[in-house]
Amino acid sequence: MEWQLMTKEQKDITGIIRNFLEKELAPVVPEHEEKSEFPMEVFKKIGEIGLWGLDIPAEYGGPGFDLQTLSLIREEFGRVDCGFAVSFGAATVGFKQVLAGGNEQQKQAMAKRLLNGEISAMCITEPQSGSDVAGTKTRAVLSGDEYIINGTKTFITNGGLANVYIVVAVTNPDLGSRGLSCFIVERDTPGVSVGKEENKMGIRLSNTTDVVFQNVHVPVENRIGEEGDGFKIVMKALEKSRPICIAPLIGMAQRAIEIAAEYCRVRTPYGKPIGKLQGIQFKIADMEIQLQTARAIMMYAAKVADEGKPISCLGSVSKTYVSEAAFTIIDEALQILGGYGYSKEYPIEKMLRDVRVYRIFEGTNEVQRQIIGKTVIGKC
């Protein structure tokens, strides 16, 4: 069942996107899945229909969709391919960081570039530290009117595709998380290189690589905010994106239910469709209950964020619940398809591989539970 509170504008835009993705993306998914490659030609065509920079606000030249509309749009991407959804969504991550702490010139410049089809990437994670952002080792040392950056980032979405990176680096090693700063680093700066590409279990259309910085000279004006603001900026930007980063999963889980329901109608092991078996009906019912609950939580979180109200705990609830519900829904869909569900000839096994990463990135679900638990318990 679709979101019944869709406005006419939301129906129109999601309809356009569904048609486009079914025509342009769906046919090329198997080939790119096999090669583990982002379909750049589809990204370019999205630009031709004016849909780059979907989450850039109107005051910076973007379409100015609210988070509720963006969630419904992202569902459409997830219906077709979650890997593409991840890379497409992350392409504008640079604007979110700049919006969270940058100056007006940085915001205008970044928005313009991303609306013109440039791609950004967010470089936080390092080989020794993902959840532990304060454990960052990449150093940025001030020298005259430049910083010199050295370090290696890993698991970077769009690492090999980006024109511009947002890099978190230590400017004061004595201050822990308060000693981190954020920098805008151009891909073509000498000393920047793309390292190994991850050979991933799922979301194989999304590009994920190491990015290496060796004596990279960056002008002081490329720092976002003040020295020491890095952790605050990253957390502020993540807080806004987290509640709806899971939107593609709603689309993917919805599609898994549709495929399972169709199978229930046509699979006749005892001379009658399995859809007539109460044990199967109950499975489908539980899947639908979880899907509708997941979408309702996500849309509620998006509305709260749209209204500018505090979102931290609710964002973590949304990310955690939706990523786990979607996993269960898709796993149960695979079960309903029996042996065929496990076969690569049917789309469900790919969905199960794609959904898994959502419990890991954008802050692991363990870290989200820590945020939720701490918020509920309060000071003790």
Q: Could you give the residue numbers annotated as active site?
A: 362
Count of residues near ligand FAD by CB under 6 A: 21
Shortest separation between residue 118's beta carbon and ligand FAD, angstroms: 16
Binding string, 339-358, against ligand FAD, x = CB under 6 A? ------------------x-
Find all residues with CB under 8 Å of 256, minimum gap 6, and list them. Answer: 287, 329, 330, 333, 348, 351
Shortest separation between residue 73's beta carbon and ligand FAD, angstroms: 20
Q: Candidates 6-14, 104-112, 238-246, 361-369 — which segment interacts with ligand FAD by CB under 6 A?
A: 361-369
Q: Which is nearer to ligand FAD, 25 or 93 (by Cβ)?
A: 93
Q: Which is nearer to ligand FAD, 94 or 341 (by Cβ)?
A: 94
Q: Which two tokens stand for residue 226?
A: 């003040």
Give the residue carrying structure tokens 């991303």.
114
Q: Which two tokens stand for residue 251?
A: 């689309």
Among 20, 155, 263, 358, the residue binding ligand FAD under the rule CB under 6 A is 155
Burial class (CB in 10 A: 0-12, 13-18, 19+), 25: buried
Neighbours of 264 (CB within 10 A): 19
Q: Which is nearer to ligand FAD, 255 or 359 (by Cβ)?
A: 359
DSSP 110-150: HHHHHHTT--EEEE--BTTBSS-GGG---EEEEETTEEEEE
Give the residue carrying structure tokens 């609210």.
66
DSSP 305-368: HHTT---HHHHHHHHHHHHHHHHHHHHHHHHHTHHHHHSTTSTHHHHHHHHGGGGTSSS-HHHH
Burial class (CB in 10 A: 0-12, 13-18, 19+), 27: exposed
Q: Which is nearer to ligand FAD, 208 or 320 (by Cβ)?
A: 208
User: According to the binding rule CB under 6 A, does residue 152 interact with ligand FAD?
Assistant: no
Q: Candidates 41-49, 136-144, 325-333, 365-373 — which segment interacts with ligand FAD by CB under 6 A?
A: 365-373
Residues between 104 and 133 that touch ligand FAD (CB under 6 A): 122-125, 130-132
Q: Candidates 1-9, 94-102, 282-290, 363-371 — which segment interacts with ligand FAD by CB under 6 A?
A: 363-371
Give the residue carrying structure tokens 């073509």.
188
Shortest separation between residue 243's beta carbon and ligand FAD, angstroms: 16
Among 166, 162, 355, smallest CA distance to 252 is for 355
Residues between 191 and 250 that touch ligand FAD (CB under 6 A): 200, 203, 208
Among 27, 40, 366, 373, the residue binding ligand FAD under the rule CB under 6 A is 366
Binding string, 67-96, against ligand FAD, x = CB under 6 A? -----------------------x------
Q: Which is nearer to ligand FAD, 121 or 299 (by Cβ)?
A: 121
3-state secondary structure of 226: coil
Question: Rg (Cα) of the chain, in Å, rounded?
Answer: 21
DSSP 142-203: EETTEEEEEEEEEEEETTTT-SEEEEEEES-TTSGGGGEEEEEEETTSTTEEEEEEP--SS-
Among 108, 292, 328, 364, the residue binding ligand FAD under the rule CB under 6 A is 364
User: What is the widest separation between alpha-carbon atoms in the chain?
Assistant: 80
Shortest separation between residue 360's beta carbon and ligand FAD, angstroms: 5
Backbone angles phi, psi at 314, to 5 degrees: -65, -40
Shortest separation between residue 76's beta carbon and ligand FAD, angstroms: 21
Q: Which is nearer to ligand FAD, 139 or 200 (by Cβ)?
A: 200
Shortest separation between residue 212's beta carbon and ligand FAD, angstroms: 14
Which residues bind to ligand FAD, rule: CB under 6 A? Answer: 90, 122-125, 130-132, 155-157, 200, 203, 208, 357, 360-361, 364, 366-367, 370
